[in-house]
Structure 1
Amino acid sequence: MTAADSAAEQRIVVVGGGMAGHRVAQQLVAHGARRVLLLAEEEYAPYNRVLLAEVLAGRYSPDIAALTALPPQVERRQARAVRIDRAECRVLCDDGAVVDYDRLVLATGSNPVLPPLRGLFDDALTGSERHELPAGVFAFRTMADCADIDGYLPGVRQAVVVGGGLLGVSAARALAARGIQVVLAHQGEHLMERHLDEEAAEMLRAHLAELGVEVHTECRVRSVLTEDRRVTGVELADGFRLDAELLITAAGVRPRAGLAQAAGLDVRRGIVVDDHLRTGDPRIHALGDCAEHRGVVYGLAGPALAQADRLARILTGHDTPYQGSRLLTRLTLTGPDSAPLDLAAFGETAPAGPGDRVVRLADASRGTYRKVIVRRDEQGGDRLVGGVLLGDLDTVGDLAGTWEGDEALSAHPLHLLTTQSTTTGGPSR
């Protein structure tokens, strides 16, 4: 029996039915695995989380965001894993089921971070990752969140979104598309500071204003105002109060690593894995938002899918280590009365040393902005190490391809910004 045949007969249990868990189960079967069980906690069919804002905005139905069906070789069971028995190689579930495994894959994802606001945690459940929030307060991370927010929207006129990162911006413009007055409160100096520089963020702010979103940066919300445990507004650090019947928190996410930690696995920011996406227990692997590889927790859909593809090959006898992912973030903002605004960011978006060059091309009349960071390598050639683009993204495909290929540039960097793309870059968030 070959190594691949032996691997195909292993019982592989995947904990987590999100994008990463769904993808690794699909790819395991594609590479010959015959005994795959997927434990999915969410009641919803698997979906593309990149499209959640479109669902909230009412542009897509949940069915449009659904992922392709799993192959029949995968057994999908709705259950929550509550304990891992490493000595017996089994998983205990909340419905009482006990599942044996030869290899276990943890794709438990992440939880939204709830900011420490006064009035938010009064009824917190001690020792739990879940909280009883005041009526009208929601996180924005899952299809269940979308459904809960949608069910609460009738009668809502004003909303506050806390957090101006990718999720916060997406939630704000989705609510604006539903005709709600939205205030976006962001504690940082400019929007999406992890991805955009100040000039690009200012263009994004102007576009959100066109959609009807009022943006406040360097603005800290300190309290949630409620009446009978129903949100009525927020209080800012300077004492100013904003009325709101709806509050969405988008203050980041935290890997769901409690299951792994309780099993004695190494957890830092996430579940620590090596280049085979393997934990300290050789029978247990982790990937996606819950995993930490070489000190990095990606928290984006693109790297999670890349890890799933690689792990499927590893578990079916193809020794192809995972070396890490390069990050391309892309977002399209649309509104009923304005042209869409595309933005993309990849690699390093600011110079890191005196030898780095910044090449910019901006057109205020067309609302476009393109910037790339170029670095001189040891051989004297120029390499593209990152960039930020807003507006017309005709060039994003070729720029991303040049960056991912990590090859010396054959022409002046300005040529990259003025040449129309022959390919397109997909979303990764």
Structure 2
Amino acid sequence: MTSEQRVVVIGGGLAGLRLAQRMGGQGTAVTVLGEETHVPYNRVLLAEVLAGRYAPEVTALPAPGPALRRGVRAVRIDRAERAVHCDDGSVERYDTLVLATGSNPVLPPLRGLFVPDGRELPDGVHPFRTMDDCLALSAAVGPGVRAVVIGGGLLGVSAARALAARGAQVVLAQQAERLMERQLDAAASALLHAHLTALGVEIHTECRVRGLSTTGPLGRAGSRRVTGAELADGYRLDADLVVLACGVRPRTGLAVAAGLDVRTGVVVDDRLRTSDPRIHAVGDCAEHAGRVYGLAGAALEQADALAAILTGPAPHRGPDAAPAAGVTAAPDRAARTGPGAGAEAAPDPGAHDRAAHKPATHDPASAGQAAADDRRGPAAPYSGTRALTRLTLGGAGLRTLDLAAFGETTPLPGDDVVRLADATRRTYRQVVVRGDRLVGGVLLGELSSVGALARGWEGGEPLHDPADLFRLLTDDGGH
């Protein structure tokens, strides 16, 4: 890029701030539009704030100084004028625009969820996505409060654990047949079920919530209060609080209105470009090779990759050239990343999700030097993230439970499965091997070997000897 290129980033979360930090001092004028008024925070730690383990300020992220405009919402993108119009009447002009708009919580179609003729939730009903959501729940929860958590994925499990840690009487309603069914096999899910039960969480699986019961005058926003959750079988769960933990959906409204290619997320190619080559997308809103990751690790890796691309040597194609063919997922892309290479696309803001990163092919800190060095080629394209999901569950006076999952945890016909379980130590490890390659695994309890397993999976290295796998599964981490 030439000096003083104007880069506007819509979104002040993990991905947007990481990109701004990586591009600082690289001959660009970066402006980040952050819709929330809070100091930027790490969404991954919200469950710890709700549990009372961390104060909100502990979650703060480094802000890019004057480059961040807090409390400003982008309302329209004018691609012809290369301008972003904001809700305060201001206009930010760009040479390069980056969408890091994140995702919104899914609000299920429950009877009684919204106040009639409006979009207001009844009092006591909370999504769990933002710091405002977290603070509202923290103010409402306490010993003896009856809380119903709808959803038993990463988000629901973390929310249930956090509420139980605050002394609430927690019921978790999961529509699937087991907890965290997208990441855990049946045996691992059963161990998780037992651990949450020991924390005092009452769990109902294969249980569909069809509506909410409320009290108060109809048609008045803020006047109705939730009193319970009604199940499809007619059973009613009394509730002072209801937490909606049904996953998230990419925020694509701006992209759709601007005429960009949008499927589940904003479609990007291997240079993280949208169908407009001057607009990029990263993080929860981006769909790369047919996949929306929705994980912090992937968002950070995409931000790093895009910073290297924008500040490194220009590719042979000009900035106004058509996007690369990667905008339409190439058939071999799915084969390289694998249909289950990572965690669910509906992430948990309280989960400690991380990515098993590939060796760096470009150092963003030296991007300016690289830009001046014609002997280097363009920055390496983004080839997808292989995500490792981690979660720690604990409670007062009880042993914590650590779990990790990566890749394809459900074997296909012909796969080999290796499983080690120790009921006394409450540890469980299962890995899936396809041919001579490790394609996925799940671990609960002792995680000392997870690093070695993840590296073997990430590198796709062949297992030449069955003893190799045994060494990876043992407590010494394969050393």
After TM superposition, the score normalised by the length of structure 2 is: 0.82
Cα drift, residue 124 of structure 1: 5.9
What amino acid is aligned across from residue 95 of structure 2 in structure 1? D
Q: Which residue is equivalent to 1:235?
A: 230
CA distance in 1, matches of 2:117, 2:155: 24
Corresponding letter in the other structure for 1:325 = T
Q: Is the 8 A contact 2:143 2:167 kept in 1?
A: no
Equivalent of 1:322, from 382, 388, 404?
382
Q: Deviations 1:13-58 (Å, cap 9, x if unpaired)?
A: 000001111111111116x143000000011111111111100000
1:335 to 395, 399, 402: 395
1:369 corresponds to which residue?
428
Q: Give the counterpart letter for 2:386 in structure 1.
A: R
Asked if the contact 1:161–1:183 (Cα under 8 Å) also holds between the matched residues in 2, the reply is yes
Q: State the 1:410 CA deviation.
A: 4.2
Q: Secondary structure at the match of 1:360?
A: strand
Equivalent residue, structure 1, for 2:99? 106
- Checking the alignment, whether the CA contact within 8 Å between 1:124 and 1:133 is kept in structure 2 is no
Matched residue type, 1:64: V
Q: 1:385 to 1:235 in 2, by over 3 A?
A: same
Paired residue for 2:41, among 33, 37, 47?
47
| Cα deviations by residue, 1:330-379 (Å, 9 ceiling, x for unpaired) | 0000100211100000001011231x110000011111100001111xxx
Aligned to 2:335: none
Match of 1:27, SS?
A: helix
- Measure, in 2, the Cα distance between the counterparts of 1:371 and 1:48: 31
- Equivalent residue, structure 2, for 1:166: 154
| Residue number in structure 2 paired with 1:294 | 289
User: What does residue 61 of structure 2 align with?
Assistant: 67
Aligned equivalents of 2:265, 2:56: Cα separation in 1: 29
Which residue of 195, 208, 212 maps to 2:183?
195
CA 1:156–1:96 in structure 2 vs 1: closer, same or farther (change >3 Å)?
farther
Paired with 1:335 and 1:251, the residues of 2 have a C-alpha distance of 23
- In the alignment, which residue of structure 2 is the partner of 1:84? 77
Q: Tell me if 1:390 matches 2:378.
A: no
Partner of 1:399: 453
1:256 to 248, 251, 258: 251
Matched residue type, 1:343 = L
- Are residue 266 (structure 1) and residue 266 (structure 2) matched? no
- Secondary structure at the aligned position of 2:171 is classed as strand
Correspondence 1:420 to 2:479: no
2:10 and 2:205 map into 1 onto residues whose CA distance is 39
- Give the direction of change, closer, same or farther, for the CA distance of 1:334–1:155 in structure 2 (3 Å limit): closer
Q: How far 1:409 sits from its partner (Å)?
A: 2.1
Kindly tell me: are residues 154 and 111 of structure 1, through their superposed partners in 2, closer, same or farther at Cα, counting changes over 3 Å? same
Counterpart of 1:389 in structure 2: which amino acid?
L
- In the TM superposition, residue 405 of structure 1 has moved relative to its aligned partner by 1.3
Counterpart secondary structure, 2:56: coil
TM-superposed deviation, 1:188:
0.2
CA contact (8 A) 2:174 2:205 kept: yes
Measure how far apart 1:416 and its partner are: 1.3
**Greater mean alpha carbon deviation, residues 154-163 or residues 139-148:** 154-163
What does the per-residue CA deviation read over 1:376-395, in whole Å, with 9 as the maximum and x for residues that have no partner?
1xxxxx11111000011111
TM-score, normalised on structure 1? 0.92
Please say if 1:34 is aligned against 2:94: no
Q: Do structure 1's residue 349 and structure 2's residue 409 form an aligned pair?
A: yes
Change (3 A) 1:124 1:400: farther
Letter in 2 for 1:362: A
Please state whether the residue corresponding to 1:88 is helix, strand or coil: coil
CA–CA separation in structure 1 for the residues paired with 2:116 and 2:127:
16
Which of residues 6, 20, 28 is equivalent to 1:25? 20
Structure 2 residue aligned with 1:379: none
CA distance in 1, matches of 2:168, 2:305: 43
Give the structure 1 partner of residue 364 of structure 2: none
C-alpha separation in 2, matches of 1:91 and 1:422? 52
What do you get for the CA RMSD once the two structures are aligned?
1.5
What percentage of aligned pairs have identical amino acids?
Answer: 65
Residue in structure 1 matched with residue 213 of structure 2 by the alignment: 225
Correspondence for 1:58: 52
One-letter amino acid of the counterpart of residue 409, structure 2: T
Q: Against the structure 1 CA distance between its residues 124 and 211, is the aligned structure 2 distance closer, same or farther, given a 3 Å change threshold?
A: farther
Alpha-carbon distance, 1:215 to partner? 0.7
Equivalent position SS for 1:13: strand
One-letter amino acid matched to 2:447: L
SS at match of 1:330: strand
For the 8 Å contact 2:472–2:478, the answer to whether it is kept is: no
Distance 1:284 1:156, change over 3 A: farther
1:308 aligns with 2:303: yes
The 2-side partners of 1:67 and 1:206 are apart by: 35
8 Å CA contact 1:34, 1:73 repeated in 2: no
Task: Tell me the SS of whatever aligns to 1:11.
Answer: strand
Q: Quick one: which amino acid aligns to residue 92 of structure 1?
A: H
Alpha-carbon spacing, 1:339–1:82, altered in 2? closer, same or farther (3 Å): same
Tell me the matched-pair count.
405
In the alignment, is the contact (CA less than 8 A) between 1:124 and 1:132 conserved in 2? no
Instruction: For residue 289 of structure 1, report the CA deviation from its aligned partner.
Output: 0.4
Gaps of 5+ in 1: 126-130, 377-381, 424-429
Structure 1 segments (4+ residues) deviating >6 Å: none
CA pair 422-65 structure 1, distance change in 2 beyond 3 A: farther
